[in-house]
Amino acid sequence: MNFYKLLKKQIKSNPITIIIFILIFYISTLGLSVLVSTVSGFTENTNEYYSMFDDYTTNGTIAYGDGRYDHKNFLKTISKIPEDTKIRTSYEIFKINGLNDRKVVTTDYFKSDFNFTYPILEGRFYTKDESIKGEKVVLLGKSIYLKYNKSIGDKINIDNEEFKIIGVVGYKDKKCTFDETVFMPLKSITKTTIKSYESIPYRDIYLSGKDSFKDEEVFKLGKELGETNPHVSIANISKVYKEKSGAIDSVLVYSGEIFIVSICILFALLNMVLINYFWIKDRRFEIGVRKAFGIKDRQICTLLVCEFLSVVLVSSILAIISQGVLSEIFKNIGNYSLELSIRNIIIIVLVNVLVSFLVSIIPITKAIKVSPIEIVRGE
């Protein structure tokens, strides 16, 4: 089937209708493709983040009802965790080497040796002694390490405190979700960072064990924190499932965008069906003549599907080209990724075929009912 000839014929006979078709589906397809790129990128980064946890990890949220985070109390409480347990949480630092360079810092506290699964590009992770004593040691994400042109063993100023660089996290030949992250022992966090977190509503924590880990440890931690501050409680306790957590988080984070894109596609679909309803009425004579010359219903149905597919195909190609151009111009817009992948094309092709069939249902139904005899009579 020559899609180019079909499209050319349709534009010639119904230019306004075809332009509306292409415009409506172009917008919907571009939105879908950008959403696919964004959700896919977020899922991959999140899965990479969760892959660095142990097999037995439980997540919980410490809620501060009075909005008062007591760091000393927090450190005192976590120091009571079992020997085979480690705790992880995160903060934000604000200055590196005196520059306003805001970064996420991941912190760990543990009292026995663990096999860490971070991708160490160079150097090493901090030891249990450095964790317990709160030594001023730090690992830098690859991008930060390269930006400040440092070497292992050098000193780096973080929020006006000196840290010794002991390692680099990342991969040699590809990006990593930790390229812009700083790692340090939880007890080593800077005074400036602590002060900025004195008033917070909640804090996410992760507790890991070497063997099957129980939720009771998180409950116990929350209870002990609550003994010194009655406004502290623990909530949202859940097991971290590394294989599923990324996809689940992506759906939750981008649920609004998914809803909007779904509505846009549905709106486009309904508009195309409505336009086709009137379009097919104008083509009754053509269909009747074709039937009079022996063209079967099956062949007419195939022709109609291919006609709609050719229009949808043009819209999709334009959307993919647009996203490719935008990705080169902007790279990333906020949290939205414009990077194209084979996944985008596969999903768009599947949506093309599905939409073409759905849009064709009413025209096909009406085309089958067309009688050559009625057309000859002028009915």
State the chain's mean pLDDT as an integer: 78
Domain boundaries, the chain: 3-46+251-377, 54-239
The Cα–Cα gap between 249 and 247 comes to 5
Tokens of 51: 């892959």
Q: What is the four-CA torsion angle of 52, 57, 58, 64, rounded to 10 degrees?
A: -50
The Cα–Cα gap between 218 and 215 comes to 6
The Cα–Cα gap between 219 and 256 comes to 32
The Cα–Cα gap between 15 and 179 comes to 51
The Cα–Cα gap between 307 and 111 comes to 68
Partners of residue 63 on adjacent β-strands: 202, 233
- Global pTM reads 0.64
What is the per-residue pLDDT for 167?
Answer: 94
> What pLDDT, in 10s, does the model give residues 100-155?
888 989 999 988 877 677 889 999 999 999 999 999 999 999 999 999 988 999 99
What average pLDDT does this structure show over 45-55? 73
> What pLDDT, in 10s, does the model give residues 327-350?
777 765 555 567 777 877 888 778
Nearest one of 121, 125, 97 to 113, comparing CA atoms: 125
Q: How confident is the model at residue 173 (pLDDT cuts 50, 70, 90)?
A: confident
Percentage, residues of the chain above pLDDT 70: 78
